[in-house]
Structure 1
Amino acid sequence: MSETQIGLVLLVVTLMVLFSGIPIAWGLTLVSVSFLLVFEGPTALNVVGITIMDELSSFALLTIPLFVLLGAAIGVSAAGRDIYESLYRWLVRVPGGLVIANIFACGIFSAICGSSPATAAAIGKVGVPEMLKRGIPPGLATGAICAGGTLGILIPPSITMILYGLATETSIGRLFLAGVGPGILLVVLFALYAWIVTLIGHRRNPQTIPEEHYTLAEKMKGIEKVAPFIAIIVAIAYMMYGGIATPSEIAAVSAALALALVMVIYKAWHLRDLWHIFRDTVRESTMILMIIGAAALFSYMMSLLYITQTAAEAMVNLELNRWVLMALINVFMLVAGCFLPPVAIILMLMPILTPVLEANGFDLIWFAVILTINMEVGLITPPVGLNLYVLKGVAPQVPLPTVLLGSLPFVLIMLFAIVLICIFPEIALWLPDTLMGPGR
């Protein structure tokens, strides 16, 4: 068989295995070992353990369990409720202020925990019932939280960006900075949509205008519990972009600070509370690290069988216009994102796409943002759409089709944001180039 034929068989077999429901790490390992055994013989299996352990021995991987611990500590507390409540007090008189408060809360919470499902669950538990109680349409209420939750993989610290940096050997600090501008852009676009839709609704039915009012003292009081967590975001930014510490050191300090704040502010010092935090950390970290190890073996197998090189050469030899090629890559990622989680897509695709992107003059830092927003779309579209099911879990009274339809306008907004970033790459690149200088 030729390398192209082997690659096509590999694609079909991999998709069948992953769609069967088997855990991603075990599925990738099973496919890798099977293809090595069939095409290279039993002696090729000698490198399986070495390849996996070499990948997991990377010092940069320390950031993953530490940032996961940071997110777990925040996620089990009532920080999401306090962030939402504080923002709502300031935005209550703005048309759509309740929805906008939830969107802003998602943005802030994302900057603390870096997890999309955790953001959607933490803000949704409080925000969705409050919005429904105040007459916000169920589709808008759940759709806003679904879309806002996806910001967890874009706004730093982002586990997705860390994995992308490891897969492409690009600067994690630069990737974090690249996610800031697009993250703010999406928050503004989401909020603008909520404002327009609610304003139209108020004009049709003035009785829906909220009558609540908060004094300045009440508004300031809501900030008290939120301020320490905002300080963590500022500390992360200052340490990382001021060159004071490495990402691993920053992750350790941030996780320790978050754990301490949760114990002090929310009295989560009981063994039961700490058990939930560390259990969730170990569970998610182990899952991610196992996928990383399995993906390394998968990439090694593709390279050994010359599949990666053949696929890259074939894409370059198509001699398509670079933007037509980018459009095709985006379409493929949008489809893949509907079925596979971001971690699997990054670790499986980037070994093939990296040389193609470089050959066509695309900036890998810029592409990280495009890929991440693509992955965000996958988080709120079926059949996998994790955030859809998270919202259904925290708001069981809202039918799943309503959640899905409410998320559709936000999907279109994300696609619009991708187009904007393609036209104006400075949205993603200005901040890292300004603070860290031009370069990869």
Structure 2
Amino acid sequence: MDPLVIGGIVALVTVIVLFSGVSVAIGLLLVATLFLWIFDGPRSLTALPELFYAELNSFALLSIPMFIIMGASIASTRAGPDLYEALERWLTRVPGGLLVSNLGACALFAAMSGSSPATCAAIGKMGIPEMRRRGYPAEVAAGSIAAGGTLGILIPPSVTMIVYGIATETSIGRLFLAGVIPGLLLTLLFIAWAIFDTWRRGAASSVLSGVTYSWREKFEMLPRVIPFLLIIVGVLVALYGGVATPSETAAVGAMLCLLAAVLIYRMFSYRDFWVVLRDSTRESVMILFIIGAAGVFSFMLSSLFVTQSVAQWIGALEVNRWVLMGIINLFLLVAGFFLPPVAVILMSAPILLPIITAAGFDPYWFAVILTINMEIGLITPPVGLNLYVINGIAPDIRLKQVLLGSLPFVGCMILAIVILCLFPGLATWLPTAVMGVAL
């Protein structure tokens, strides 16, 4: 049977299995086992345990649970609300200042935690009620937090970037650097829309009237959040400066964040530590399980020559490389609607990387484009994880309202992709400047 036909059948069966409600990792393993059994016979299955183990036998993977512990220890404290309150006090006189404060807090907390759901929960619990109390529409309050939370998978340190680096064997340090300027660009686009929307609604003064803070009140919150930001900066400096590997810097960062949580927020309870370790273990095992299963799934595609045939077919298409990139973006966008970012990256990145490099695109630039597409998936149904997180912390705001409030920020993300296509140096300049030209 033609490998392309097999690939189409594999894609159809995979979609059916994943939509049946089976977890992503189990679904990938079932599909891989089924097709290897059918086309290669039962003897091919003897290699699956070794393949699964080999996919996880990587020192670089240690950085994933370490960064997750780092984020969980921050998320378990009041660092998120404190960060939000500190920014709100400094930006209260800016038009739409409370909305800008929420987006800024989301960006900073996302950088500290690396988790979109954690960012939505931490900032949304205080930000949404406060915005509604001051007159912001419910959909604006909820949608802005849902969109702001997506920044957690782009701004370093990012677990998503680590997964991409492992799947494509690219430098994690370069990937982190590639996400810095696009992350700032996306944050600025969000803030620009927030200010414009506030002005458009004529709410710049009415929602802020009578709210003032003294200089003492502005400064008193900073000592509680600055240590966490310094830890993040220190981790990134150590990583980019070549002092330590990603796994080593992540381990040190996790330990320092736990110490900061104890010293600043008095997290002395055994139960608090248990919650941090339990949640971190649960999320780490889920991601690592998907990584192992995706490795087996990729082996199945390769052994049946599906990957090679798809790459050859796309490479033989006589189309402009930007048309090709548009098709790839559309594929990633649709995939992000239905699958979590980690699953999409592990399933698609190894196939797409040779195609985009053959077309002359930079793999680190492409990582940023892919990640922004995954961000869109986090705030669009049917998966739309951030939408459900917001609906959970503000159940009186209907899911439709959260979605409507987040749609303008989807437009900002699409605009960011266009800008990065026009000016790819926004993603490639910083990695080259800091770490030299990639070999």
Please give the range of the TM-score, normalised by the shorter of the 2 chains: over 0.9
**Partner residue of 1:161?**
161
RMSD (CA atoms): 1.0
**Partner residue of 1:178?**
178
Secondary structure of the equivalent of 2:347? helix
Offset of 1:404 from its aligned partner? 0.4
Offset of 1:55 from its aligned partner? 0.8
Question: Is 1:80–2:83 an aligned residue pair?
Answer: no
Cα deviations by residue, 1:32-81 (Å, 9 ceiling, x for unpaired): 01111110001101110000101101110000000011111111111100
Cα deviations by residue, 1:106-163 (Å, 9 ceiling, x for unpaired): 1111111111111111111111111111111111111111111000000011011001
Normalised by the length of structure 1, the TM-score is: 0.98
**Partner residue of 1:407?**
406
Amino acid aligned to 1:275: W
**Partner residue of 1:233?**
232
Question: Is 1:105–2:105 an aligned residue pair?
Answer: yes
- C-alpha distance in structure 2 between counterparts of 1:343 and 1:319, whole Å: 31
Tell me, yes or no, if the aligned pair for 2:92 and 2:208 is still in contact at 8 Å. no
Amino acid aligned to 1:413: C
Q: Note the residue ranges of structure 2 that are not aligned, 5 or more in a row.
A: none
Offset of 1:202 from its aligned partner? 3.2
Tell me, yes or no, if the aligned pair for 1:202 and 1:208 is still in contact at 8 Å. no
- C-alpha distance in structure 1 between counterparts of 2:391 and 2:69, whole Å: 25
Secondary structure of the equivalent of 1:226? helix
Amino acid aligned to 1:248: S
Tell me, yes or no, if the aligned pair for 2:134 and 2:208 is still in contact at 8 Å. no
Q: Note the residue ranges of structure 1 that are not aligned, 5 or more in a row.
A: none
- C-alpha distance in structure 2 between counterparts of 1:209 and 1:404, whole Å: 25
Amino acid aligned to 1:91: L
**Partner residue of 2:311?**
312
**Partner residue of 2:418?**
419
Tell me, yes or no, if the aligned pair for 1:92 and 1:210 is still in contact at 8 Å. no
Q: Percent identity?
A: 56
Amino acid aligned to 2:390: L
Cα deviations by residue, 1:315-335 (Å, 9 ceiling, x for unpaired): 001121100000000011111
Label 1:194 to 1:31 Cα distance change in 2 as closer, same or farther (>3 A). Answer: same
Offset of 1:201 from its aligned partner? 2.6
**Partner residue of 2:136?**
136
**Partner residue of 1:190?**
190
Offset of 1:186 from its aligned partner? 0.8
Offset of 1:169 from its aligned partner? 0.8
Aligned residues: 439
Tell me, yes or no, if the aligned pair for 1:67 and 1:159 is still in contact at 8 Å. yes
Offset of 1:200 from its aligned partner? 2.6
Offset of 1:208 from its aligned partner? 3.1
Offset of 1:206 from its aligned partner? 4.8
**Partner residue of 1:95?**
95
- C-alpha distance in structure 1 between counterparts of 2:371 and 2:101, whole Å: 24
- Counting only pairs closer than 5 Å after superposition, residues 288-437 of structure 1 correspond to structure 2 as 288-437=287-436
- C-alpha distance in structure 2 between counterparts of 1:206 and 1:91, whole Å: 13
Secondary structure of the equivalent of 1:202? coil
Cα deviations by residue, 1:21-40 (Å, 9 ceiling, x for unpaired): 10011000000011111100
Normalised by the length of structure 2, the TM-score is: 0.99
Question: Is 1:146–2:138 an aligned residue pair?
Answer: no
- C-alpha distance in structure 2 between counterparts of 1:2 and 1:417, whole Å: 39
Question: Is 1:12–2:15 an aligned residue pair?
Answer: no
- C-alpha distance in structure 1 between counterparts of 2:200 and 2:153, whole Å: 32
- C-alpha distance in structure 2 between counterparts of 1:436 and 1:210, whole Å: 48
**Partner residue of 1:56?**
56
- C-alpha distance in structure 2 between counterparts of 1:206 and 1:301, whole Å: 60
**Partner residue of 2:260?**
261
